[in-house]
Amino acid sequence: MDILQSIKSALAPPHKAGYPFIGGGVVALILGLILLHLLAWLGLVFTLFCLYFFRDPDRVPPPRETAILAPADGLVVRVDSAAPPPELGLPATPVPRIAIFLSVLDVHVNRIPHTGTIEKIVYHPGKFLNAADDKAADENERNALRIKIPDGRELAVVQIAGLIARRILCDVVPGERVVTGARFGIIRFGSRTDIYMPPGTLPLVAVGQRMTGGETVVAELAPP
């Protein structure tokens, strides 16, 4: 079953953010077939890479109201407590945080970790350090979302650019109601996604575990 799921994921249709890159690769392939065989090979390789990188498989979130899901595919690199980004206006006290590093081989579509309403979205320019670095959460370019869940508590999801990432895309807007597991954006070419959860939330993952965005339960909400 895991092998079949991996094949389905690899062959999933691309996210719309990949269309310009895939189109460019196809154009290079066609020109190469007419003018230069080397260009054709480069166009083919680039097109196949973009089809793989921008793949956007469907995900099935578990029906658990207290579950917080992984906002991205990738490797857990931090399970700790930290204050949310100051630009979101949340209390500056440490709360449970889980950080997920995405390599260029991971699905880069970001997903909503819990049903709620987008209260605030803030883009913060910055550096492009290795996303797994301790300083990346504070110094790298990022896009932060503040989400109010139905019981009134709030959590934050932060899209962080990485060493070779140069574009963060976010498809939701303040005031929009979002549901668990829904797509909300993508980061191009290597990145990190952090989630800051309400006080008392119990993390259920450990550093080194691999996540499936929109499906893996990363934490359990404490009773309000």
List the catalytic residues.
191
Of 105, 72, 70, give the one whose Cα is nearest residue 205: 70
3-state class (DSSP) for residue 194: strand
- Where is 46: in which H helix or E strand? helix 37-53
DSSP state of 13: P
- Residue 207 has a CB neighbour count (10 Å cut-off) of 12
The residue type found at 57 is P
Question: To 10 degrees, what angle do helices 19-34 and 37-53 make?
Answer: 160
User: Burial of 63 by CB count in 10 Å (0-12 exposed, 13-18 middle, 19+ buried)?
Assistant: exposed
CA–CA distance, 26 with 39 (Å, rounded to integer): 11
Instruction: Look up residue 19 and give its two tokens.
Output: 């269309």
Beta strands 142-148; 116-124: pairing state: antiparallel
The residue type found at 68 is I
Place of tokens 């973009």: 50
Which phi and psi (to 5°) does residue 99 adopt?
-115, 130
